[in-house]
Chains A and B, each alone.
Chain A
Amino acid sequence: MTFEVTTGVDLDDIQGNVVKAYGRYGLIVARYVFFQINGPVGGRKFVGNILPLVTRGMPWSDSKIIPRVATNIGFTYEGLRHLDIPEVTLHGFPEAFSMGMKARREIIGDTGPSLYDYWDPIWNTPNDNKQHVHIMVTIDGKEEKDLEDRYQEIQRILADNPEVKQLTGHRGPSGGMYQPAAAILPTKDKLGFPGGKEHFGYSDGITTTFFEGCGEEENLVIGGGKPTGKDPRTAAGWAPLAAGEFLLGHPDEACEYPEAPGPSLFSLNGTFIAYRKLHQNVGSFNAYLDAQGAKFPDGKEALAAKFAGRWRNGAPLVSFPNEEGANKFIAEFAALQQKMWADSASSQEKERFAELSLQLLAFDYSNDTNGSRCPFGSHIRRTNPRSALEFGKTKAFDVPGALSNRRRILRRGLPYGQVDDPTSDNGEHGVIMLIVNADLSRQFEFVQQQWMNYGNDFGLANDPDPLLGNHENKEGRCDGGRMTIEGDAGTNKPPYFCDRIPTLVETRGGDYFFVPSLTCLRMIALGIIDPT
């Protein structure tokens, strides 16, 4: 039996980065700044001073009201402890959060080259592995100048507060004061949706998870919500996920409140963010793609597409199994996008643009139950299986997303750094991922452990995700990672096996942050949390 849960979500009480991927609104540069609290009074004062700058979740339906800069804040467990949050409240937090990301390394696969020994110094104090990052402040802006203005504003707040220290130790060009990030935009001769690329050359951040009350454009439920079993190309094929999958104090997909500390006003409208700095081994990726792509019957680009489940230009493999069709689709899309941006599209062109936009999102795997188009092991089919875990059996469960609806996450963040030498793994480049979810253990950690670093749910034994998996040697596993690219019995195409995949993405730092509501921030600042 399923229930329709209706929730009133007060977007004005929720931090903006929870409900919006700022990059979609043109806020395409960012700074992530971290602080340590050395006295609760000063700590609370800092929170109170930042509070007026905090961006809320109200919809930006009109482009005129989009701010030039957005600011948000989150706290580690140690951070909350240093703010003198009552013990009873602290003990109400789930274990994953209070342990912190480093202590959860065996679960999430931060081992081998992803071990904390290799993280940026900010995440490691010498001779002391205790968590010492307390506060994260994220600044997202339209341009560097906007970031700098807001950054200086925060510096002025800090100057007045000796009990709060800005932590240094980020590798990279900021002098270690903060973690910079910026969208990688297409150049003039490199058009392509949706603008944002990552360092392996894939268009990224195409699908956005859609939940009840999130305030985003309604048609984003298509491909972003949970599958209903109806036509995935239409709005009827999708429904918003329950708000409680992403916000504390709201019913989740099991019609229960997510685990959260009391008093209820403290956790209501709050959530958790896993901050992860992920380095990309671009040299290894290019070398592997060149070597294996020379042998792969459909060539290098097709192999890159099989890894991800989308062509590097963003076209989904299930809808565009051939490179030519994918390129044609994206070329038409990009041309229309230019017209849309220039405000010169005819009504017919607008309609066509809407139709093409939908094709990027509006699909499931029901036309590809043998994986011959989009491999079971490809990145997007693993991370967001849609209804694919029914394995072609209609009504296998009560609802088509029974095995995936409770494993959804919101993806925030931007790429960082640049690739100076595409043949080398060295350098400062990768992705800053901010993963939003109400339950770190059930959502982020599960996806990381079971779907990124293991393959059993997809019938792929212990094969990890080709792109994000930790491919270090494990007991009984062959040297490096493996991926099976399914063949097609219909056309007599044999499967193709990729082996000795090197680890392509390595963790370079991060932690779990509680991202409170505006109300809760005020309660922290005033020191009036009373769980009794």
Chain B
Amino acid sequence: MANKSGNAYALTVLCPIRGGVQSHTAPLQQQLQTLQVNEQSPMAKVPNTYLCRFWVLSDVPYQGKPGFLDHLKSDYLVFSSNFYGELDPYLEGMWKALETGIRVILSHCVDGDSVSDAESFIEYIKRCKVATTFFFNGSTDEPLAQQLKNLYLKQEFSKFAFENQGKSASDLQAAFRAFVLRTQPDNLDGPTWAAGAYHLDKVVK
């Protein structure tokens, strides 16, 4: 199935934006453009999100003759997300983390008012979902928390290797014990990289 690669899921959703006398496109656009990014992004709170984007698709570009000058029936809100695991629990997690924000965004979409709880949200998204093709999963096949911990450990271990090179076996062992105590490799809650962070100096939570 094109939507899945290992345990990674690629979701593509096209929600029609409400038309009428006063278009909802511009206010929605503004809403999306003023969302925080990186570790401050609301989507960083949604468990297991690898990478996601919201954007507005207003029309299709005209390629010139001999192509048709064609138009979309309406503007669309596009939501694209790569995440770990199955669709239903992911969307449930999204609703739990961002209920208010989702309501605001969907208020600009056709039939968005029908969404009132996790169940109706899942149902709505499934109605607007399209098949994802050419899905390339650029991440390892593990839950996000595990991946963030791995990245943190890799970075810290690299520092450890540089700092402790050439020490005697006993000193090295002592240093490694201290390293394990400090970094807690089995503890996914921390210390670890914060979801959404990309700046190496600000990643540890």
CB distance from B197 to the nearest CB of A (A): 11
Residue A475 is within 8 A (CB to CB) of chain B in the complex: yes
User: Would you list which residues of chain A between 433 and 491 have a CB under 8 Å from chain B?
Assistant: 475-476, 478, 482
Residue A493 is within 8 A (CB to CB) of chain B in the complex: no
Interface code B76-109, partner A: CB below 8 Å = 1, 0 otherwise?
0000000000000000000000000000000000
Query: Is the pair B161, A497 in contact by a Cβ cutoff of 8 Å?
Result: yes
Task: Please name the residue on chain B nearest to A482 by beta carbon.
Answer: B162
Query: Is the pair B199, A476 in contact by a Cβ cutoff of 8 Å?
Result: yes
> Which of A295, A482, A499 has most chain B Cβ within 10 Å?
A499
Q: Which residues of B contact A482 (CB under 8 A)?
A: 162
Residue A25 is within 8 A (CB to CB) of chain B in the complex: no
CB distance from A455 to the nearest CB of B (A): 13
Interface code A87-115, partner B: CB below 8 Å = 1, 0 otherwise?
00000000000000000000000000000
From A475, A478, A496, give the contact of B165 (CB < 8 A): A496
Interface code B185-204, partner A: CB below 8 Å = 1, 0 otherwise?
00000000000000111000
Query: Is the pair B162, A497 in contact by a Cβ cutoff of 8 Å?
Result: yes
From A476, A496, A497, A499, give the contact of B200 (CB < 8 A): A476
The total number of A-B Cβ pairs within 8 Å is 15
Interface size class of B (residues with CB under 8 A): under 10
> Which of A295, A478, A496, A497 has most chain B Cβ within 10 Å?
A497
CB distance from A496 to the nearest CB of B (A): 7
Q: Which residues of A contact B159 (CB under 8 A)?
A: 478
Q: How far is the CA of A295 from the CA of B162 in the complex (A)?
A: 13
Residue B166 is within 8 A (CB to CB) of chain A in the complex: yes
Query: Is the pair B162, A499 in contact by a Cβ cutoff of 8 Å?
Result: yes
Q: How far is the CA of A128 from the CA of B126 in the complex (A)?
A: 60
> Which of A475, A476, A478 has most chain B Cβ within 10 Å?
A476
Q: Which residues of B contact A475 (CB under 8 A)?
A: 199-201
Task: Please name the residue on chain A nearest to B198 by beta carbon.
Answer: A476
CB distance from B180 to the nearest CB of A (A): 20
Query: Is the pair A295, B166 in contact by a Cβ cutoff of 8 Å?
Result: yes
Q: How far is the CA of A499 from the CA of B163 in the complex (A)?
A: 9
CB distance from B202 to the nearest CB of A (A): 9
Q: How far is the CA of A295 from the CA of B159 in the complex (A)?
A: 18
Q: Which residues of A contact B161 (CB under 8 A)?
A: 497
Q: Which residues of B contact A295 (CB under 8 A)?
A: 166
Q: How far is the CA of A312 from the CA of B166 in the complex (A)?
A: 26
Task: Please name the residue on chain B nearest to A498 by beta carbon.
Answer: B162
CB distance from B30 to the nearest CB of A (A): 31
CB distance from B105 to the nearest CB of A (A): 33
Task: Please name the residue on chain A nearest to B166 by beta carbon.
Answer: A295
The 4 closest A-B pairs by CB, nearest first: A476-B200, A499-B162, A497-B162, A497-B165
Instruction: List 14 contacting pairs A-B, 8 Å CB cutoff, sorted by A.
Output: A295-B166, A475-B199, A475-B200, A475-B201, A476-B199, A476-B200, A478-B159, A478-B162, A482-B162, A496-B165, A497-B161, A497-B162, A497-B165, A499-B162
- Chain B residues with a Cβ under 8 A of chain A: 159, 161-162, 165-166, 199-201
12 further A-B pairs in the complex, CB-CB below 8 A; given A295-B166, A475-B199, A496-B165: A475-B200, A475-B201, A476-B199, A476-B200, A476-B201, A478-B159, A478-B162, A482-B162, A497-B161, A497-B162, A497-B165, A499-B162
